[in-house]
Structures are given as C-alpha cells and as structure tokens.
Amino acid sequence: MRIERQANFPVGQLQKGTGESRSASTFSSMMNRSQSKLQLESLMPHLEMQGQNLVQSRTIEHLRDYKKAVKEFVREAVNSGLQLSDKQSYHHSGSMKTHQIVEKVDQKLLELHDEVMGKEERGLEVLRLVGEIKGLLINLYM
C-alpha cells in the first residue's frame, strides 16, 4: 500500500475562529444598540411627564425640570454612540437639506424658554414646542 502526499491545500491560509469572532462581535454590537434603545425608551415617559407639567403650569421650575430631562436624554443618546452628526432629507423642491438634530433641539429649547419667560398666555405655542422637541428626540434614536 502506497501513501501519497498531496499538497493541494495550502496550510498557511487556514484561520480558525474568524467566523465565530466576527459573528460574536456583530451579536455584541446588536445587543449594545438594542440595550441603548431600550434605555432611551425608558427615559421618554419621564420626559413626557415633564413636558406635560410645563404645559399645564408654565413656571421656571417646570421649565428647568423639562430642560434637565431633555439634556439627560441627549447625553444618554451621545453616550450610547448614536449618530448625531447629520441627517439628510429632501426638500419639497428636490434639493437636499442637512439638519443638525441636536442644534435644532437646542434652538427649540431656547424658543420654549422665551415663551415661558415672556409669560405669554399662549398654551398652544408651548404645547407645540414641547411636541416638536419630543419629535426631534424620537428622530434622534430611531
């Protein structure tokens, strides 16, 4: 009986475990993203409650609590590594528009601050701004 040596398969190109480590890191990143999203979703009811308090009685204390809740939400979104840089959308004329979501949230908070500080009796405007800020924050983590 004769045994022949066959060198068809280059041994140097073998890599053990690359598929496992790649799938493990993908699974880990998916779990981290899912956990971050759940954490942001758990912050949303507190944010909504602070917004309702502000709408019902426009005081400096409620404004401060609402701004604190928004900042906590944005900080958590940044810490979880969500993309905050640029979001692109198409304008109705077909041109592309770039939005800085965090800057927009800050702008709306300043408008809200002006409304509350001005002691204007326009509850609908405050409600609109609170709703707009909530929508921007939802866009932040979706």
The gap from C-alpha 101 to its chain's centroid, in whole angstroms, comes to 9
pLDDT at 65: 92
Q: Is the pTM of this model over 0.85?
A: no
pLDDT for 97 equals 43
What pLDDT sits at residue 85?
A: 46
3-state SS string over 53-116? HHHHCCCHHHHHHHHHHHHHHHHHHHHCCCCCCCEEEECCCCCEEEECHHHHHHHHHHHHHHHH
**Which pLDDT tens digits describe the chain residue by residue (142 residues)?**
555 555 555 555 445 555 555 566 677 767 767 777 777 778 888 888 998 998 888 888 998 999 898 888 888 877 765 554 445 555 566 544 444 676 777 777 777 777 777 765 566 778 888 888 888 887 776 6
User: Domains of the chain by range and CATH?
Assistant: 34-141 (1.20.120.490)
d(CA 24, CA 18): 10
